Amino acid sequence: MDRITLSGLRGRGLHGVYPRERVEGQTFVVDAALELDTRAAARGDDLARTADYGAVAEKLVAVIEGEPCNLIETLAARLAEICLADPAVQAVEITVHKPDAPITVPFDDVTVSIRREKPGGAA
């Protein structure tokens, strides 16, 4: 499979288990690696035969900024579903970064990464 990777998509969301996270919100950063076969699109130089990564990016940010969830694991699963809804995408790897997580010790980032595929999709 070929890959189209969106790195560093940002949105402000109200995700988290603590009341402050639900009121104040925080920035979430998402990386999405879409797995698909781009050969037909390349042969025909045709956007309709591949994933429109601009449209996918807008949908992902809308989810980040949309309905809150407690866990970034849940957010990652929602984002994966959006990517897999694109007919060209066979599998996706999502990483959700929560750089402002409420942790009491110094840290650089907290991430959750998941990989999902369509039934009968990429191995």
What residue ranges in the chain does DSSP mark as E strands? 2-13, 26-36, 91-97, 111-117
Q: Which pLDDT score, from 0 to 100, does residue 122 have?
A: 55
What is the pTM for the complete model shown? 0.95
User: How high is the mean pLDDT in each 10-residue block of the chain (123 residues)?
Assistant: 98 97 97 98 97 98 98 98 98 98 97 95 56
CB 64: neighbour CB atoms within 10 A? 21
What is residue 51's three-state secondary structure?
coil
Residue type, 100: D
- Dihedral angle computed from the Cα positions of residues 117, 36, 8 and 70, in that order, rounded to the nearest 10 degrees: -20
Active centre residues (catalytic): 98
